[in-house]
Each structure stands twice: as structure tokens, then as C-alpha cells.
Amino acid sequence: MAQHRVQQWATFARMWWLYDARWQCPFQSAPVIIRHLQGLHKPIYHPLSDVGDHVVVINTEHIAMEGDLWRNWRHFHHTGYPGGFSATRVWKVHEADPTKVLHKQIYSTVKGNLLRRPIMARLHLYPDDNVPEDILKNITGQIRQLREVPKRLDEYTQDERDAFPRLFEWPADYVPNPGKKTVKS
């Protein structure tokens, strides 16, 4: 039954996925990553069996947040002592630890049962793309990014910018942003 043994081995083998968090929303990325961490993407899934995969998330310091959330979204903490409550703006948390925001988002989205600890142990977060060699060797799959990463204007060369089609030419004396109106004296 050695054939059956190796078939079983392959069925329950843990895959290693790579997820590039550059310009991705942490709130929308978390369910996708958790799906792989819990094994919900496998037909053999069962809530009581530990069949999840590993996910290596890179570029967590380049995550993006919608609107004014960097300033308005807050992480809460309570030390357990009276007056021990504290709330920190997420940009401050992100500045202190670039992997913290995604980690906390994933941790709070996973159901709080006994499997949460092993699930979180299978999550590997890296602030940039410097991943240790031994981790990198394990990776064999990639999770598709939720949003396409747009190219910034300053990343285009001057030739590309000039070659961009235009409907009309601005007049030579046109000022796009007049700035603050000067008060007539």
C-alpha cells in the first residue's frame, strides 16, 4: 500500500504560497490569506482538521489603505489594569512595526478557537522582499494580488510621458494650479 501512503502524503502536503502585499488593502487581503491558511481552498477541508497551508507575505510596509483610514483607523489595547486602555492611530503602529497591521487584521479575522495559534504560526510576514533563503526555497505557489499595482507618474520616463496621447495642447501661459487666491489690496 505504499502507493496509497504516498498519495495520502501528497493530499495532506502543506503548500507554501507567496503573497505580495504591495499596494493591497489589509482588510480585503486578510480573508484571502486566511482562506489559504485554514485550507478552505481545498476540497478536503474540515473545520476540525489542520489542513491549512503556509503563506509568506512580502512588502507589508507598502500596504495601502482607503481614504483617511491611515489617520482614522485605530488599534486598541488594554493592559488589564484600571486606566490601562490605549488607542493608537494605525499610521503610528505601522511606523513602529511594518508587519503589525496585517498581522493584527489576520489574527482578528481568524475565528478564536484552538486552531488559531497553529494557523498564525503558518503565516510569515516580511516588511520588504528580503525573505530568508530557507523560507524562499519552500515556496511553490503564488496568490494573485487583489488589485493591480498601478504605475506612478514619476516611474514613467520623460519620453513615455511625452508620447502619451493628448486631446489638446495647454496654452503656454496656463497655470494648472493657481494656488491661493491673492486678496486685492
Binding site for another protein (CB under 8 A): 1-4, 6-7, 9-10, 13-16, 40-47, 54, 134-135, 137-138, 140-141
What is the closest distance, in whole angstroms, from the C-beta atom of residue 66 to another protein in the complex?
25
Other Cβ atoms closer than 10 A to 18:
20
Query: How many Å apart are CA 47 and CA 17, to the nearest integer?
Result: 21
Identity of the residue, 32 or 93, whose beta carbon is nearer to another protein in the bound complex: 32
Q: How many CA atoms lie within 13 A of 112 on its CB side?
A: 2
Identity of the residue, 101 or 110, whose beta carbon is nearer to another protein in the bound complex: 110
What is the closest distance, in whole angstroms, from the C-beta atom of residue 150 to another protein in the complex?
24
H helices of 52-97, where? 69-72, 90-96
Identity of the residue, 31 or 47, whose beta carbon is nearer to another protein in the bound complex: 47
What is the closest distance, in whole angstroms, from the C-beta atom of residue 48 to another protein in the complex?
10
What is the DSSP secondary structure assignment for residue 154, as one 8-state letter? G
